[in-house]
């Protein structure tokens, strides 16, 4: 393997984002993300009655799966979990803006930021009601 340009990452074939970042980083991402959500005027009202520590734990497992971790979720699971929440396109767009910003702030590699955000965007129709 030749020299690598600064800012370029080298990964072994088969490494997942989850393998590279680990559960602690995934949990930090989710915790930081929900801090932003709770500071958002448009999103915070959706979470007034939510037990945030439990949500962070659940969403960390989901984020781990999105990043290639050990657990998986079906589209049906996501539709069922979000059906009653009345999430709008604007809500989803704000969540995506916060997610992307959080990933960037925590020094997630740009290609990985794109990959995570694209995976969430693919789930839009299962989340938006």
Residues 6 or more apart in contact with residue 46 via CB below 8 angstroms: 85, 87, 91
Taking each helix axis from N to C terminus, what angle separates 17-39 and 110-122, rounded to the nearest 10 degrees? 70
Instruction: Name the residue with higher pLDDT: 30 or 74.
Output: 30
pLDDT at 15: 86
Least Cα distance to 87 among 124, 53, 62 occurs for: 124
Nearest-angstrom CA–CA distance, 42 and 103: 20
Task: Flag the least confident range among 51-55, 76-80, 95-99.
Answer: 76-80
| pLDDT greater than 90 at residue 72 | no
Domains of the chain: 18-127 (1.10.490.10)
pLDDT value of position 14: 55
């Amino acid at each position: 393997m030749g020299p690598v340009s600064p800012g370029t990452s080298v990964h072994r074939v088969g490494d997942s984002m989850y393998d590279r970042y680990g559960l602690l980083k995934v949990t930090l991402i989710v915790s930081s993300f929900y801090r932003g959500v709770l500071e958002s005027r448009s999103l915070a009202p959706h979470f007034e009655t939510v037990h945030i520590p439990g949500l962070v734990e659940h969403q960390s497992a989901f984020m781990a799966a999105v990043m290639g971790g050990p657990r998986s979720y079906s589209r049906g699971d996501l539709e069922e979990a979000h059906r009653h929440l009345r999430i709008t396109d604007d809500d989803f767009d704000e969540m995506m803006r916060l997610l992307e910003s959080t990933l960037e702030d925590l020094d997630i590699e740009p290609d990985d930021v794109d990959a995570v955000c694209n995976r969430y965007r693919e789930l839009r129709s299962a989340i938006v009601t």
